[in-house]
Amino acid sequence: MALDQEKTKQFKYIGTRPKRQDGVDKVTGQAKYGADTYQSGMLHGAIVRSPHAHAKILSIDTSKAEALEGVKTIVTRAEFATDVTGDNWNILENVMADKTALYDGHAVAAIAATSALIARDAAKLVVVNYEPLPHVTDIVDAISEDAPIIRESSIEPNVPEGYHKNITRRYECGKGDVKVGFGEADLILERDFFTEGVHQGYIEPHACLAHVTPDGKGELWCSTQGHFNVQRVCADLLGMESSQLKVTASEIGGGFGAKTTVFIEPVALALSRKANRPVKLVMNRSEVIRATGPASSSWSTVKVGMKKNGTITAAHGTYRLQGGAFPSAPSESPAQVTFAPYDIEHAEMIGLSIMTNRPKQAAYRAPGAPMGVFASEQIIEEMAHELGIDPIELRLKNAAKEGTKGVHGPTYQRIGLIETLEAAKAHPHYSTPLKENQGRGVAVGFWFNFGGATSVSMALSLDGSVALTVGTPDIGGSRASMALMAAEVLCIPYEDIRVTVADTGSLGHNDDTAGSRVTFAVGLATIEACNAAIKELCKRAAGEWGIEPEAVKWEEGFAVPSGANAGDFAPLSLKELAAKMNTTGGPINGHFASSPSGAGPGFATHLVDVEVDPETGKSTVIRYTVVLDAGKAIHPDYVEGQMQGGAVQGIGWALNEEYVYGKDGRLQNTIFLDYRVPVASDLPMIDCVIIEVPNPGHPFGVRGVGETSIIPPLAAVANAVSAATGVRQTRLPMSPPRVLKGIKDKQSHG
């Protein structure tokens, strides 16, 4: 069937909301996550971590720890490969410090013992002799004149001479000539905005179980967003061949980007290899917060020019993101993303990566975008108010559409930004009257979405049911979405399909569950794998009937003779063909592998109402609406889940969450009591409106939905708090003391 027909047809399974296949396991406690497996002879690991933000490691004395009964082995950096380069070298440097501890919590040694208690006791007996070095943890301080230079060797060639030596990467994009654009403006507004570091906050700490045998073969069970990536990186760090390391992804208790890399997995493998025993390594929460994640803190400077009628004439942005003590901040992202929703003639966007003595920045849902949009969407909203134009109308006036060349370069195909803005404007939320101390905020967001390398296999059983095998860990219900797409293509019941996430030895390569790619790319491969099986089914039917395979078509789960042979033979069902397959040519399987482009860009508009207590400065979200273009919602419950979850993570980022470093460079809030993520009583219901503007790059029109949802909330909530207080909110988090100070300052200055 031609693609355009596919998109307009009525679906039988897609768009319905069946129960997920892993549901029973997950509500009964049977599902096996990273820490839920055991192996005979298994040891328990523990990691020794630096208490210093920056220090030379002069010596490591393990003798007392080794003497403790039950301790089987201790590893340091000496147990890892020495020929690692590039990104993997940075990962190795983060996984286990070499000569320098680069942040509070940096791993310096690891122990395996017969129990977790003994391993933890032994960790305290390792004597590390440090020589503390000057440190810097704040992004503004890091590029001040007297800041210690952390790692000059990491500066990339495109950073111009004369830049501060803690700036390791520079990215630039744009179009037109901003001087001309600002010259045409009636109103110009420029502001600085700051956001603090935050953690992804998945509830499952990193956990794994490794076993390396003396013949050099290894097995690894771990909680990850991408076990093929884990296999590749771990093999490199351990000096193994990838094929000799089989990695199995456990059920995963959240990742949000930070489980796309490795932290403890190579350490567990090194311990196991040295001890010749299986080793289980599980982080505690404090280790998770001190040494994994986090997302960058940021400092953005944004300037926009507008005509009196609200037309944007020019935009300029400088986005500075800190990557921790590593050259990895996603600073290109805000430069590309912030003004992508608008049709602007003149724009210049710069992204800078800045080094500090903090943990290695890890991806967090649309990495780099929310903090940049926190700046850009506040400037847009403030200018709308200043010009007396409705904020949604102003965005509609400048909205990108099919044919618009984005600030970041590409020209859009069909996109749904305008549809999300129109739906938000028409939503009852937007006309609900506000009371005293309440304010309303709007913000839009754009995310590229991603395709990525993908392999999918399906196998037909003799009874006509289907085993579908994917290689992307299921974090939010993707097995249900894949089964729905397979059911739609094969025209068999959803319940007849069982989806399995295969280990690295059982399927071809798959990129991570990341980049909002799974429903798009794995969905596409699922459809094509099923189509390959259908082609074979039609061939078998043709053989039965003695006609050409091209003269058979697949309709409603049956092989049907067509063309000149139409009506000559009774249609054969999938079940009938499956029952005979081993005698009509052998097993029938479908496989598809590709790295698809064509992931349709995602757009969203968020509306939020906030009430601010003028006596305490506490902000409470009282109403929230997410409008998102999903292209086509395969399982709407799990699309809404992404919309709601992203919005609430954004609310936490906006109002509560922050990394708090002391003057000593140590992280001060390393448990959930002090690093406060949103709880149920903080929130209202999160209303969802799914828009479906089909993505031309997918047979069913799917666009990714996982990341776009976290892009607008920081700005939307800030716009609402600004409206409620009359004070523009330029710093996150908008904690009660900060908001209260703003209110008091405004009152004292009249």
Partner 1 sequence: MSKQVITTTVNGDSVDFVCDPRESLLDVLRDRLGLTGSKEGCGTGDCGACSIMLDGRLVCSCLVLGVEAEGKTIETIEGVATGTQLHVLQDKIIEHAGLQCGICTPGIIVAAKALLEKNPDPTETELRYWLAGNLCRCTGYDKIIRAVMDAAAELRKVA
Angle, alpha carbons 706-710-713 (nearest 5°): 150
Name the one range near partner 1 by CB under 8 A: 15-23, 189-197, 238-246, 340-348.
15-23
Positions in 246-305 near partner 1 (CB under 8 A): 251-256, 282, 284-285
Q: How far is the CB of 556 from partner 1 (least distance, A)?
A: 28
Sequence-separated (6 or more) residues with CB below 8 Å from residue 367: 257, 295, 330, 333
Q: How far is the CB of 589 from partner 1 (least distance, A)?
A: 30
Positions in 190-219 near partner 1 (CB under 8 A): 200-205
501, 461 contact by CB (below 8 A)? no
Q: Which of 11, 16, 36, 189 binds partner 1 (CB under 8 A)?
A: 36
**Helix runs in 277-411, H state only:** 285-291, 332-337, 369-387, 391-398
Sequence-separated (6 or more) residues with CB below 8 Å from residue 634: 14, 15, 481, 484, 485, 519, 523, 700, 702
- Residue from 192, 411, 393, 206 nearest 293 by CA: 206
| Residue 677 sits in the site that holds partner 1 (CB under 8 A) | yes
96, 48 contact by CB (below 8 A)? no
Q: How far is the CB of 447 from partner 1 (least distance, A)?
A: 18
| Residue 475 sits in the site that holds partner 1 (CB under 8 A) | yes
Q: Which two tokens stand for residue 558?
A: 């049956």
Q: Which of 22, 141, 422, 613 binds partner 1 (CB under 8 A)?
A: 22
Q: Which of 5, 29, 157, 435 binds partner 1 (CB under 8 A)?
A: 29
Q: Which uninterrupted H or E stretch holds 426?
A: helix 417-426
- Residue from 495, 493, 496, 486 nearest 590 by CA: 486
Q: Which of 359, 391, 416, 476 binds partner 1 (CB under 8 A)?
A: 476
| Residue 33 sits in the site that holds partner 1 (CB under 8 A) | yes
Positions in 59-118 near partner 1 (CB under 8 A): 115-117
Nearer to partner 1 (CB atom), residue 201 or residue 733 = 201
Q: Which of 5, 8, 10, 28 binds partner 1 (CB under 8 A)?
A: 28
Q: Which of 30, 276, 411, 432 binds partner 1 (CB under 8 A)?
A: 30
Nearer to partner 1 (CB atom), residue 103 or residue 202 = 202
| Residue 26 sits in the site that holds partner 1 (CB under 8 A) | yes
Q: How far is the CB of 202 from partner 1 (least distance, A)?
A: 6
Nearer to partner 1 (CB atom), residue 33 or residue 430 = 33
Positions in 112-171 near partner 1 (CB under 8 A): 115-117
Q: Which of 350, 399, 648, 705 binds partner 1 (CB under 8 A)?
A: 648
Name the one range near partner 1 by CB under 8 A: 453-461, 530-538, 602-610, 647-655.
647-655
User: In whole angstroms, what is the distance from residue 642 CA to residue 629 CA?
Assistant: 12
| Burial zone of 157 (CB within 10 Å; 0-12 exposed, 13-18 middle, 19+ buried) | exposed
According to DSSP, the residues that pair with 132 across neighbouring strands are 55
**Helix runs in 565-635, H state only:** 574-579
Q: How far is the CB of 652 from partner 1 (least distance, A)?
A: 9
The number of helices, as runs of H, and strands, as runs of E, in the chain is 21, 26
Nearer to partner 1 (CB atom), residue 419 or residue 657 = 657
User: In whole angstroms, what is the distance from residue 610 CA to residue 213 CA?
Assistant: 57
Nearer to partner 1 (CB atom), residue 513 or residue 730 = 513
| Residue 564 sits in the site that holds partner 1 (CB under 8 A) | no
Nearer to partner 1 (CB atom), residue 355 or residue 480 = 480
User: In whole angstroms, what is the distance from residue 729 CA to residue 715 CA?
Assistant: 9
Q: Which two tokens stand for residue 149?
A: 């230079």
User: In whole angstroms, what is the distance from residue 246 CA to residue 218 CA?
Assistant: 6
| Residue 19 sits in the site that holds partner 1 (CB under 8 A) | yes
Q: What φ, ψ does residue 148 adopt, rounded to 5°?
A: -65, 140
Place of tokens 């889940």: 641
Q: Which of 685, 748, 749, 750 binds partner 1 (CB under 8 A)?
A: 685
- Phi-psi bin for 329: left (phi > 0), alpha (psi -120 to 50), beta? beta
Q: Which residues bind partner 1 (CB under 8 A)?
A: 17, 19-20, 22-24, 26-33, 35-36, 38, 115-117, 200-205, 251-256, 282, 284-285, 475-477, 637-638, 640-641, 644-645, 647-649, 671-673, 677-683, 685-686
